[in-house]
Amino acid sequence: MRLMFPLLCLGLTVSASAEDLIQHYAAHGELIITQLVSAPFPHPKRWEGHKYKQELYSAGEHYSNSTVAVFIPKGFRETGQIDFVIHFHGWRNMATNALGRYELVEQLCDSGRNAVLVVPQGPYDAPDSFGGKLEDPQGFKRFMAEVVQTLQGSASLKKKDFTTGRIILSGHSGGYQVISSILDCGGLSDKVTEVWLFDALYAQTDKFLAWYEARHGRLLNIYTEHGGTKAETEKLMQTLKQREIPFFAGQEADCKPAEISVSMPVFLFTALEHDQVMAKHHTFRKFLDTSGLEGR
């Protein structure tokens, strides 16, 4: 295992916590914690920070971190094409924290899916949904090109010449905004086969709907009573009814794998709390299990 940095980041001190995290997941696969030029931040729109409820979140503390976590599961099968699950964390969180808090690595490994997990750092410990450079036109395409370049230096991969396969976009809470922009102008919408929203449909619904109508990918949306997404979710379901677009709606606790394995919008209402929707019932793994990803 090794920590990888591009040349522009030489001289930065590797934190003990990052090294510890890499060692923690070593038995599961290779965790790369790197800094990417194309990562969401820094970004000109946050050069002066961001004010929320009269509190200023400074650029230096909250919008200068270009960390990206990349995880290759043990036993990854090289086919000449790599499928990706890109996960975006929500408000007041960090990419490395999200890995453990929501058991992302463990759930990916337990699913046996042959995919690489990527978790970019969004606004660092800030109440903000802005996706930085990934909201810029073609920004996601540039980001994925740099992720691929990073993987070419991985110790886990023997083949250095591979293409990008399926891309699944996953977002919890405030992660919805960057996903909607990626679908709208990120430059790789033809590669995105699935979108997973974990209590995250707050707005930008027209962009999610436009992607679905154009691509007919798999759209999964799990929502709660008090997470702030219920009204927008019900509004989307009503729109689908009006347009005579079939969808599945049910209770998360009762749903069967076959019911969410479909290439139509899926809406799951859950009694879980907002911060529990990813890991409490291993829903991230259930989405992986029923995805179009191949097994290892």
d(CA 255, CA 237): 18
Mean pLDDT of all residues in 101-128: 98
Using the predicted structure, report yes or no on whether residue 202 has a pLDDT greater than 70. yes
pLDDT in tens, 2-31: 333 333 333 333 445 889 999 999 999 999
Q: Where are the domains of the chain?
A: 7-289
% of the chain at pLDDT higher than 90: 91
E strand or H helix at 222 = strand 218-223
pLDDT in tens, 170-182: 999 999 999 999 9
Global pTM reads: 0.93
Does the domain formed by 7-289 have CATH 3.40.50.1820? yes
Residue 193 identity (one-letter amino acid): T
Asked if residue 123 has a cis previous peptide bond (ω within 30° of 0), the answer is no
Cβ partners under 8 Å of residue 134, min gap 6: 40, 120, 140, 143, 178, 181, 182, 186
Cβ partners under 8 Å of residue 15, min gap 6: none
Mean pLDDT of all residues in 258-263: 91
Of 284, 260, 283, 236, whose CA–CA distance to 85 is shortest?
A: 284
Tell me the DSSP string of 113-130: B--EEEEE--SBTSS---
Supply 122's token pair: 């969004």
Mean pLDDT of the chain: 93
Q: What share of the chain is helix, strand, coil (3-state, %, to 5)?
A: 35, 25, 45
Q: Coil, helix or strand for 136?
A: coil
CA angle 170, 90, 70 (to 5 degrees): 55
Q: Tell me the HSE value of 114 on the side-chain side, using a 13 A CA sphere.
A: 14
Structure confidence at residue 265 as a pLDDT band (50, 70, 90): very high
The pLDDT score that the predictor gives to residue 163 is 94
The pLDDT score that the predictor gives to residue 253 is 94
